[in-house]
Amino acid sequence: MEKPPHVPELPEVETTRRGIAPWLEGRTPASVVIHNPSLRWPITPELPERLTAGPIGSVERRGKYLLLNNPLGTALVHLGMSGSLRVASPEEPRRKHDHVELGLDGDRVLRFNDPRRFGSWLWTSDWQQHPLLAPLGPEPLEASFTGDRLYEGSRGRRASVKAFIMDAKTVVGVGNIYASEALFRAGIHPGRPAGSVGRQRYRRLAEAIREILGNAIAVGGTTLRDFTDSSGNPGYFRQSLTVYGRAGEPCKVCGTPLRDRVIAQRSTVFCTQCQR
């Protein structure tokens, strides 16, 4: 049975950011062509005028949003369920679902492809105050994200620990795949109430999240059916997955068949022996 599509998670977005940044930073797009404005939200009509008004000073990431910053403001780009950005030759035929195209120095274009159209291109003059970004929690790879912070934020929480760490107000960018992997590495059952997990276990979990995401970024993200990086190459982290997608297979640590159940509204694979 074909697996359902997955939203590109933080490592995929960071891989994309690193891939496109050298083509954009310090350059003013020669053109911005919108082939289809009907994405998750309609593309900001002024986007072409504003993105071509000056050089892109930096390409940053906040959670799963890419931020293309120029002197007038910021384009907020989200890959949605299956979106991708790739650098291509202008002579390369446009693909069916290429919705946005930035002209780069005449010999390259940056194309946004999104078959399901759950992605977005929005414009803001102050991204830190934008309602999509302002409520977000800390970045998992930054110093402000700690096990102590997780512990303190979880007190009294009855929701599962998996739902807790997948909440973007708790920490950004920990989606289904990496939540499952980090909980396994930390030895925590994903269905355990968040408020019942102790401080030391949260410290292990925070470290596991940093390690899992860092390793995934280092090898280019997780190979999902739809994800490719900015050059069209798939990520390779799937080779390292210990529980995700392995229901019924033996645990790589103890050999117990891995269980699968719905937790936090997502299919969740875990080991009944290694995770408590």
The set of catalytic residues is: 8-9, 64, 266
Residue-by-residue DSSP string for 117-154: ---EEEEES-GGG-TTTTT----TTSTT--HHHHHHHH
Angle between helices 199-218 and 147-154 (to 10 degrees): 130
The binding site consists of 97, 116, 157
Can you tell me the distance from the alpha carbon of 226 to that of 115, in angstroms, rounded to the nearest whole number? 9
- What is the Cα–Cα distance from 181 to 193, expressed in whole angstroms? 18
Token output for 209: 């999240």
Binding-site annotation, residues for DNA = 97, 116, 157
Using only C-alpha atoms, the chain has a radius of gyration, in whole angstroms, of: 20
String of DSSP letters for 140-204: TTSTT--HHHHHHHHTT--SBHHHHHHSTTTSTT--HHHHHHHHHHHT--TTSBGGGS-HHHHHH
Q: Tell me the one-letter amino acid at 96.
A: K
What residues are paired with 76 via a beta bridge?
67, 122
| Residue 213 per-residue DSSP state | H
H or E element that contains 242: none
Nearest Cα to Cα of residue 24 among 112, 127, 109, 121? 109
Nearest to 239 by CA among 216, 208, 211, 260: 216
Write the burial class of residue 245 (CB in 10 Å: 0-12 exposed, 13-18 middle, 19+ buried): middle
Residue from 47, 194, 45, 40 nearest 117 by CA: 40
